[in-house]
Every structure is written in C-alpha cells, then in structure tokens.
Structure 1
Amino acid sequence: MDNHFVSTDWLADRLGDPDLVIVDGSWHMPGSVRDPHAEYLESHLPGAVFFDIDAIADKDTDLPHMLPAPAAFAGAVGELGIADTMTIVVYDQFGMATAPRVWWTFKVMGAPNVLLLEGGSPKWRAEGRPTESGPVQREPQWFEVRLDPDRVTDFGTVLARSRDREAQILDARPAARFNAEVPEPRPGLRGGRIPGSINVPASLLTEAGAMRSPDELRQLFAERRIDLSRPIITTCGSGITASALALALEVAGAKDVSVYDGSWTEWGANPDAPIA
C-alpha cells in the first residue's frame, strides 16, 4: 500500500472495519447546478460519511472554504465519527479531483493515517462494487488536532515570496485562467496570475481519475524546471486544486510543499496584490 493511496480491492476487503472510516469529499464549482450532498445521499460507498468542504471551514471570512480553526475542525469531524487514531480513506465522485483537498485538510490537522481511494467513486462503481443511499450516522469520536502549520501559507508570505526570483509558486488553474484569456468563475476577481508563478494545470496530474505515477509526475515537473528539493507553494482558484497539486508534488518526492489557502479568490480581489 502506497503511503498516499489505497486500491479498491484493499478498501473492499476492509468494509466494516471499526478502525477505518470512509469519507466522501466531493465538491462542485460555484455556479454548478449539482449538489454534492444530495448526490451523496442518493448513492455513496458503504458506510461513508460526507465531508462538506464549504461547511467545515472558517466562518469568520468571506473567502470560500478556508481552513477552519482547529477546535471547530475537531468538533465537526468528531461528530462525523472520525477519530485521529483511525485510518481515514477519502474519495470523490470524479476520481481524484476534490478528495485531495479533504486529504490535505486532515494532514494539516495532524491525522497520521489519511489516504485516498485510487480512482475514487467512478472506479469503485465501474467494478460493480456495493453502494448505499441515505445518511450515515456513526458514533461520535474524539479527534485530537496536531496542527502542521508548514502545510499552509498565507497572503503575506506569498506576497513576500513572489518578489523572490528563486521562489517556486505553482498555479493549478487551467491555462486560460492563468493567462487571463477567460474570466474567473467567481465574479469581481481580476484576471491574471501571481508574478513569477508557474502554471501546472490540475488536469495534467491525473489520468482516468487516478493520480499519475511518480515517474510521470517527476517528468511533468522537470519539464517546467521545478526543483522538488526546494520549497514550493501551490495555489489555484480557492485552494481545491492547489491541494491536488500539493499531493502530486508529494507523490513525486517533494518534501517542502505548502498550499496558499486563499489562492486567487483572495489574491485577485486584493487591490494591493500585484498581478502579471
């Protein structure tokens, strides 16, 4: 078993394990007509609980789904029946799109054993494996947070690093948004990119709903002259695909990766933030 992923076979063999919890981390872009919670209630992996990315978030900011305070996170996931001592397996409805954000959130909060389901829900369903509908009520648990602040970066740090020619800031948005060729999906945001940032669209990180191999990812980053031995900051629109990019960097062997949580939603709305 990789230290990031588990297979559908591995998970199928452990359904019902009291020390394992399955988490549906599906989320949809703003303006989408789809409701991830409604889709979860309609059909989900057996015993899975729903992690609401927009709800388990900082309520004291206008920015979307920013990291919650540690106590708020602990309370929310404890109510879902998740303890820090459990093996946590996260999946989403796309394969490997939004589950990495949930994985990253648990990692920031110190979960020692959080993994992603290779291929996610699409692979599970394609193999004819069981699903169920309706809510799942687990026994409440205690989640002890051990915050890892090195995994998250704020506006001030990114602003300072953007002025450093040696900084590595990677943007996971599609190229058309990175180059301001199309408007941002959130109204009121300027188009463009953080000066000096490098575009690594999240769509390049996966194939058929699964993360590409470590060798393929290393090649992808090498083509963009990214040094995996040096610190890297990832960003995107609102911290979702930046988390997938952080995961891909870790899989490729990077050791010092942090996510700019506010991402372009914060940067593009701030008149003091320089834009290329």
Structure 2
Amino acid sequence: MALRGLFTRGSGRPISVQSLHKTMQRRGYALSSYVVTPNELNDALKKNAPTTISSDPRVVPICAAWFLPNDPQGRKGIEIFKKKRIPSARFFDIDAVKDYESKYPHMLPTCEVFAEAMAKLGVRKEDELVVYDTEELGIFSAPRVAWTMRVYGHPRVHVLNNFKLWVQEGLPVEEGPPMVPNITTYPIPSYNTDMVVKYAEMKTIGYDHGKEGAEEIQILDARSKGRWEGSEPEPRPGLKSGHIPGSINVPVYELLDPETKTLLPPEELKKIFESKGLDPKKPMITSCGTGVTAAVIELALKESKFGSEDDRRLYDGSWTEWASRVSDTSGLIKTKTGV
C-alpha cells in the first residue's frame, strides 16, 4: 500500500514520505515482502528493535492471538501472550478493538478507536509492524489484524510465517508479565472503503447470483466444509450453518502446511485456487465466520499474486452477520443440496 501524506516523529516535527523511506533504508529495513520468515524478523529486530529512547522507525512485533468462542480448552489470546511471546511484542485484542455499536463480533472499529488502540500499543505511524499468531494455531487471526491495519492505512505491515516455527527454531522468547508500552500519539487515520464489503452490497450480490447480466463476483468462504455445506453447527449457538449463494468453499486448513501451520508456498496456493475453479481476472470477496479467517484467504491470494489486489475485498460481517440478518424465506442461505 502506498504511503500518503505526512507523518510525525516523537518530537512533533512533520516528516515527508520521502524522508520516511530514506530513514527506513538508513536503518537497514529488510522486510520487503508481506509474509516474512522467523529469521527475517529476528534479524530485523536486531537492527531495529523498539526502544523508548529513539524516535526513529522501529520493527514492532504484534501478537494477534485469538481463539474461537467454542475452543475446547477455553484458551484466551491474552493468556497465551503472557505465557510466551516474541521479545518486545505488543498484544492486539480483536475482541476489544472493534465497532462497539455493532452486535456482531470484532467488526472494524471507528477510525478514532483504531488510533487510540495503536497509541496504547506504543506504536507510531512510521513503525514497521509484524503481526503473528499463536504457537498452537500457526496462522489464524494474525492476517485479520494485519488486514485491519492496512484498511486504516498503516504504511508498513507484515505477517509472520509463523510463531510456531519461531519457537521450533529456538529464537528468543519472553515469558511472564509483558512490559507496559509508553503511549504514543497515533494520528486518526482514514478508512479504505475499497477493501471492505458491507451487508447491503452482499445481499444484492446474493440475490443477483445466477441472474443474466449480473456481475460475476467470486465469494470465497474460509469455513470448514461441514459448516459451508450446512451439515455441521456453527461455533456460535443458534446460528444457522450453510453458505451465501454461489460461494466457493476454500477451508483455511487447505492453505496451510499440515505440520508447521505455515502458509503454503505461492505456487501451491495458486494451484489450490485454480483447482477451485477461480478466475483471477474476476472480482473476489473473502468471507468466513466473523471476518477473521477470511483474511487468511486474502493473505494467500496476496502471497500467490492470484488476482488483482484492487479487485479483492473482505466481507467484514461474514457468516455471523449474514445468517443473523437474512430471513429463512429469502433463499439466501444455501446448503450442500441447494447450491
């Protein structure tokens, strides 16, 4: 994503985009790709570790640990973060940084709420952020947090591939109570509406599916096959399972290595998308249960360069909003036998 406008150092002096790029180059920023390996992050942290003294851009690890509400072990992201984390990491709570006026879980927050959350994390606009998941899940909710940061225009964001490998490779970790970051001044950002789809538009797309002359928009659903088919229950009690008319099931686990839970190599991801009958020339919308793992599909599309980034969006409310709002008689909830 391109850098726009002016940013402010800790001293309050404005710096231009050109100056920011020069500063990053001078301080040895090596994270050129969106998805980074543990060793790449470790090397970058050695060169640009967060400090309370310098106001220069830093590399800051962001833990996005999150578990489904029906997690068998009752695990909580913040608890996992406190037990084991990358040194100097901050915790981004997707259940807290949300739209408080919405009844649906962790919908995108207002620009003001996002800026306040980043300030409390001790993050500055010019910092380079690497978002990572839990050791247990590999890649799960980190892509959602990274995508959120992109929606609000943070200039340099990456996803770690992944913390499970970080631990296995013996890279440094911290345990126990985390540090309390110094609060920064994070400017209130703008909201990139081109990256997001809302319910009203999705409903129109659902009704138009299969009609002559309708735009051929591909909807990719990250939930399990059983939930997509309507043969397995949703993790939220009382919510109907099934899928949006015309949606294509792309379960998250198919995009990850079964052992390491890392994102598969770009060529393998591309083959998976092709096997689903997806057309990279047509617009795509990613969806899931609540908009979290939909971002894993977006991550895989971005990493494999499948389709145009300008033609890819994420349905924020995803299945939880959809199944809660469409009526039983609308025909907008399909099952395996009613594709």
CA distance, structure 1, for counterparts of residue 265 and residue 185 of structure 2: 35
**Deviation, structure 1 residue 164:** 3.5
- Match for residue 169 of structure 1? 219
Number of paired residues? 275
CA distance, structure 1, for counterparts of residue 138 and residue 239 of structure 2: 29
Correspondence 1:198-217 to 2 at 5 A = 198-207=248-257, 208-217=260-269
4+ aligned runs moved over 4 Å, structure 1: none
After alignment, is 89-98 or 47-56 more displaced?
A: 89-98
**Secondary structure of 1:22's match?**
strand
Is 1:6 the equivalent of 2:36? yes
Contact 1:54/1:64 (8 A) holds in 2: yes
CA distance, structure 1, for counterparts of residue 250 and residue 222 of structure 2: 5
TM-score (norm: length of structure 2): 0.78
**Deviation, structure 1 residue 214:** 1.6
CA distance, structure 2, for counterparts of residue 152 and residue 104 of structure 1: 10
Contact 2:287/2:318 (8 A) holds in 1: yes
Correspondence 1:259-270 to 2 at 5 A = 259-270=314-325
- Match for residue 258 of structure 1? 313
Correspondence 1:131-150 to 2 at 5 A = 131-133=173-175, 134-144=177-187, 145-150=189-194
Contact 2:209/2:245 (8 A) holds in 1: no
**What CA deviation, in whole Å up to 9, does each residue of 1:44-77 have, x standing for no partner?**
1100000101001111111001000011101111
- Match for residue 108 of structure 2? 67
CA distance, structure 1, for counterparts of residue 252 and residue 326 of structure 2: 27
Contact 2:197/2:313 (8 A) holds in 1: yes
- Match for residue 4 of structure 2? none
**Deviation, structure 1 residue 2:** 5.1
Contact 1:58/1:69 (8 A) holds in 2: yes
After alignment, is 198-207 or 16-25 more displaced?
A: 16-25
**Secondary structure of 2:49's match?**
coil
Is 1:46 the equivalent of 2:57? no
TM-score (norm: length of structure 1): 0.95
- Match for residue 126 of structure 1? 168
- Match for residue 28 of structure 2? none
**What CA deviation, in whole Å up to 9, does each residue of 1:220-241 have, x standing for no partner?**
1111111122211111101111
Is 1:28 the equivalent of 2:67? yes
Q: Which runs of 5+ in 2 are unaligned?
A: 1-30, 51-57, 211-215, 335-339
**Deviation, structure 1 residue 139:** 2.2
Is 1:194 the equivalent of 2:235? no
CA distance, structure 1, for counterparts of residue 35 and residue 104 of structure 2: 30
Q: Which residue identity does 1:126 align to in structure 2?
A: Q
**Secondary structure of 1:82's match?**
coil
Greater Rg, structure 1 or structure 2? 2
CA distance, structure 2, for counterparts of residue 102 and residue 210 of structure 1: 17
- Match for residue 204 of structure 2? 160
CA distance, structure 2, for counterparts of residue 206 and residue 2 of structure 1: 22
Give 2:232's match in structure 1, choosing from 172, 179, 182: 182
**Secondary structure of 2:241's match?**
coil
Contact 1:228/1:249 (8 A) holds in 2: no
Q: Which runs of 5+ in 1 are unaligned?
A: none
Contact 1:237/1:264 (8 A) holds in 2: yes
CA distance, structure 2, for counterparts of residue 271 and residue 110 of structure 1: 32
Q: Which residue identity does 1:202 align to in structure 2?
A: V
Contact 1:57/1:68 (8 A) holds in 2: yes
**What CA deviation, in whole Å up to 9, does each residue of 1:224-259 have, x standing for no partner?**
111122211111101111011111112222222111
**What CA deviation, in whole Å up to 9, does each residue of 1:126-178 have, x standing for no partner?**
11111112122222223332321111110111111222432211111000000
Which structure has more relative contact order (CA 8 Å, sep 6+)? It is 1
Percentage of matched positions with identical amino acids: 37
**Deviation, structure 1 residue 105:** 0.6
CA distance, structure 2, for counterparts of residue 14 and residue 252 of structure 1: 24
Q: Which residue identity does 1:173 align to in structure 2?
A: R
CA distance, structure 2, for counterparts of residue 31 and residue 275 of structure 1: 23
**Secondary structure of 2:324's match?**
coil
Q: Which residue identity does 1:172 align to in structure 2?
A: A
Contact 1:188/1:269 (8 A) holds in 2: no
